[in-house]
Amino acid sequence: RSGARIERLPLARFTTLGVGGEAEVWFVGNHEQLAEALEQPYRVLGGGSNLVVADEGVPERVIRLTGPLAEADLTPDPELSDAETVVTGWVGGGVPLPGLIRKLQKLGLSNLEGTVGIPAQVGGAVWMNAGTRYGEMFGGLHTLEIVTPGGTRQVTPDELDWGYRRSGLSRGHVVSRVRLKLRRSDPEEVRARMDFADQARKGQPKMKTPGCAFKNPGGVSAGRLIDEAGLKGTRIGGALIAPEHGNFIVNLGGASSRDVHALLDLIRERVGVPLELEYELWP
């Protein structure tokens, strides 16, 4: 009715791990299409860079933001911007984060360059406050637009209980658009900070992966704990604990979701400290 494009597709195609069976994917490009998509049980798909999707796929419809909800209006709002600060127009939840970070660098707009190298979409990165020790998404947010089956509302970061890898938003709260709050800076200075943050990724594997499997417990590197447990290089089926970094699971080609789950169980069993999963398992 609203004109959303709907297709049954393998989710492996949408995840950086390259694993996952079929689901009904709803490509929604405006609020009307989004509202229709939310009428039945759903999941929201961003860049698929934190997901381990079952080989059987998922029964719910999977929502993917496209069109205007994947476009960024970076024009400074004249009423809210001044000599130091820029508040942008709306940036769609479906906008790929890496391209946005490059654009902000060129415009000399600072606050988000620490998130360089995170292959997410804006909505997914906001939903879990993705970041590195050099900066996180909530360091550059002015307003969030949240859509649920109950309707659309706008919230500011101070209304949310956000923290390390946590936005305070519930599952199913769709981050449809955000407005960014940035600091005017010299493009070369932004580039230098971006390059510096990127250096920390040198030791990360280059293969198909959903990034770090576990959150760092109490600020200690989970990768280091997995390394100290002697687990780097452990392989189950087509999945491998990366020899480069203990907290990354990579797909050697043909990995199944079961292989990945088995490695996660093994890590939990062998590492002496309780670890909280960062990956999201679908279903």
Residue choice 30, 132, 152, 256 for contact with ligand EPU (CB under 6 A): 132
| Using rule CB under 6 A, residue 38 touches ligand FAD | no
Catalytic status, residue 71:
no
Task: Indicate which of ligand EPU, ligand FAD, none lies near residue 245 (CB less than 5 to 8 Å, by partner kind).
Answer: ligand EPU
Please classify residue 220 by burial: count the beta carbons closer than 10 Å to its beta carbon, then call 0-12 exposed, 13-18 middle and 19+ buried.
exposed
Q: Is 177 within 8 Å of 239 (Cβ atoms)?
A: no
Closer residue to ligand EPU in complex, CB, 176/247: 247
Catalytic status, residue 212:
yes
Q: What is the phi/psi pair of residue 73, to 5°?
A: -100, 100
Q: Which of residues 9-28 bind ligand FAD (CB under 6 A)?
A: 16
CA distance linking residue 177 with residue 93, whole number of Å: 5
CB neighbours of residue 106 within 10 Å: 10
| Using rule CB under 6 A, residue 152 touches ligand FAD | no
| Using rule CB under 6 A, residue 43 touches ligand FAD | yes
Task: Indicate which of ligand EPU, ligand FAD, none lies near residue 222 (CB less than 5 to 8 Å, by partner kind).
Answer: ligand EPU
Please classify residue 127 by burial: count the beta carbons closer than 10 Å to its beta carbon, then call 0-12 exposed, 13-18 middle and 19+ buried.
buried
CB of 65 to ligand EPU, least distance (A): 21
Closer residue to ligand EPU in complex, CB, 29/139: 139
User: Which residues, including other chains, have CB under 8 Å from residue 67's CB and lie 6 or more apart?
Assistant: 29, 30
Q: Is 73 within 8 Å of 90 (Cβ atoms)?
A: yes
Stretch that binds ligand EPU, among 66-74, 94-102, 207-215, 257-265 (CB under 6 A): 207-215
Task: Give per-residue burial for 70-105: e unless 16+ CB within 10 Å, then b.
Answer: bebebebeeeebeeeebbbebbbbbbbbeebbeebb
Residue choice 33, 111, 247, 251 for contact with ligand EPU (CB under 6 A): 247
Question: What does the block give as tokens for 206?
Answer: 């280059």
CA distance linking residue 265 with residue 257, whole number of Å: 12
| Using rule CB under 6 A, residue 118 touches ligand FAD | yes
| Using rule CB under 6 A, residue 131 touches ligand FAD | yes
The catalytically annotated residue of 165, 166, 183, 258 is 165
Catalytic status, residue 165:
yes
Binding residues (CB under 6 A) for ligand FAD: these are 16, 43-51, 65, 93, 118-121, 123-125, 127-128, 130-132, 165, 173-175, 209-211, 280
